[in-house]
A and B are shown apart, each in its own frame.
Chain A
Amino acid sequence: MNLQIEGKKAFAYAAAHEFEQAKPTVVFLHGAGLDHSWWGLQSRYFGYHGRNVLALDLPGHGRSEGPPLETIEAMAAWVEKILDDRKLSTATLVGHSMGALVALEFAARHPDRAERIALIGVGYPMKVTDAFLEAAKRNDPAAYDMSTIWGHAPQVPLGANPNPGMWMYGDTLARLGRLAPGVLHSALAACNAYGGGIEAAGKLRCPVLFVLGGRDLMTPARSADALVKAIREPARVQVRTSGHSLMAEAPDATLDALVEFILGAP
């Protein structure tokens, strides 16, 4: 569905369902340079299992109008406007990578509006290498290569995709290739600069789930330790063979973890 947020078009995939005020809502937040379709299987599941789904395209990404927002805090404020637009008092937020930082920041700012948050492929601090940032700043295709190769487990190019017939590297490169100049850099810079993670973690009042990849090169599972320690009794699922792109590399394990966390049963 297309929304208008501060006069700009914002897109939310709703899993082919009308929005119903009475239903609980799950908001999906993608990572740097990606879009709502990265959540295809998982968001569709919740849309067909009793939830409103808002799989957002963050500004400048996918179908949402730019410019991209430059900080995690600004993205969290934008998510608040989405909830206001939909007249939602609360929602569950599921975020991947950059989107996980946005979910964390939102839940810290609005503890009364976050029912639950699931943080997938997250680390803190989410530092980005200078080479990656510089390449993205130049809109150099090398940045897309780094995002693609470090964004998947090492065995991905030599292994089978759970989604029949699809080539994960090619799919990621094609998505990144559609970005407007500067969008990837803006998102990476926002991740790199975000410094409020531990403080935000301390403010959380809702249940928290971590889903981490055992072969994540972008945000290794251990890089979530500081956040995990700062949160009281989070749930944690580690998918041993997955890299950073858990929704694509381990779609069933990711969905099972979300279903148990959000719906209460696998």
Chain B
Amino acid sequence: MSGPKYPGFDTLALHAGQSPDPATGARAVPIYQTTSYVFRDSAHAASLFNMERAGHVYSRISNPTVAVLEERVAALEGGVGAIAAASGQAALHLAIATLMDAGSHIVASTALYGGSHNLLGYTLKRFGIETTFVTPRDLASWKSSIRENTRLLFGETLGNPGLDVLDIPAVSKIAHEAGLPLLVDSTFTTPYLMKPFEHGADLLYHSATKFLGGHGIAIGGVLVDSGRFDWERSGKFPQLTAPYAGFHGMDFEEESGTRAFLLRARREGLRDFGACMAPMTAFQILQGIETLHLRMPRHVESTRKVVGFLCSNAFSEKVLYPENKDHPDHALATRLLPHGCGAVFTFDIKGGREAGRKFIESLRVFSHLANVGDAKSLVIHPASTTHYRMSDEDLKKAGIGPGTIRLSIGLEDARDLIDDLERALKASQK
């Protein structure tokens, strides 16, 4: 017998989670566009409902097409399993709602996607869950902000908007010393560029809308559990370690050990909150994942060319990309992201808001919209769009300048992208 060998990333991206369809032999993942599944008989139905047999009952809880996506992402990340959700925000909410009740507290990075910041800073407050925000590279603040009722530490692998690199080994160590899990948003890096579980994260999620799909046609999220956090030993999570009346007295950790978090998230979270993914969406995101290992290197290669161009252009200032030596997290990025720092970054244009507006309107190849991680290159000028109501002073507090431009570099010919940027930069200064 030869030594043990795991399948490579590229093979898993194409195959994990799917066998050729046993009914038809279909090689592609079939779209099981069905709400429900016929029981063999009453005893079979009872066994499925009581979790004595594996299988599907109702597509809000699980669906064969969605399950392929879940297993595939779990395989690529090295997790025990995953749950697909209606969006990245739904995945974040599912994680939080599974782990904590009113009266709980989160310590989170300030460098978050705006939607996540809103959820933590405003919406969850209404439900009794408070968040303390800390500068991601201030390790002392992560530690000192933990309270008796803290239940989660949370950050992004590459933060918004300045691409702050989360020091996952250090922050997870702080979390684990306090008996807490670390959740990371891994959207900008994907498992191709970084596997957060290998660095100490316990839970992660993706907005699959971005690089995993890559095509900009489907909204979705995927929540993955490493299975390595010991909820029982922590003693802070009765949601997972004590009998739960909402599920027939089940003690999820006793029942399933490493699968406790996902079991409750699926059986309660999808059942009661219902933010599940549609099978067609899962199919579309799977089409993207099948080429993730081909797309990500190209995204990174083109981003490096564009970053190089902008760093030498007279009309651009302060290019924030962690591969640049002047980025505050350059050394950390070299250690945690050896395959590249992704394809989303910001730079400041000379001339502030007005120059930013002119620049955006002069671009021809870049699409002006509110998304990232598409095969097509994207651009947004926060000061004239998402943050246009904010004063320059308030923008500064959010780490955004009046001339800050965010680019998401796609898969077009990099020469065309640079030509487009060069022309628009000139136009912005007139």
Contacts and interface: CB of A to CB of B under 8 A. Distances in A.
A115 interface: no
Nearest to A144: B4
A264 interface: no
Interface string B70-86: 11001100111111100
Given A160-B19, A170-B74, A165 B50 contact: no
Interface residues of B, number: 56
Contacts of B11: 158
B75 A164 contact: no
Contacts of A146: 3-4
Given A16-B250, A41-B52, A165-B81, A217 B75 contact: no
Contacts of A175: 227, 257-258
A89 interface: no
B5 A178 contact: no
A4 interface: no
Interface string B1-37: 1011111000110011111000000000000000000
A200 B421 CA distance: 79
Nearest to A176: B258
Contacts of A45: 47, 52-53
A44 interface: yes
Contact of A169 (B6, B228, B257): B6
Given A149-B6, A167-B74, A178 B230 contact: yes
Interface residues of A, number: 44
B4 A148 contact: yes
A157 B7 contact: yes
A165 B67 contact: yes
Contact of A166 (B5, B81, B248, B257): B81
Contact of B16 (A37, A42, A157): A157
Interface in A77-114: none
B266 interface: yes
A37 B256 contact: yes
B51 interface: yes
Nearest to A46: B52
Given A159-B19, A164-B70, A174 B258 contact: yes
Given A45-B47, A164-B67, A166-B80, 6 more contacts: A45-B52, A145-B4, A155-B19, A158-B7, A167-B79, A251-B54
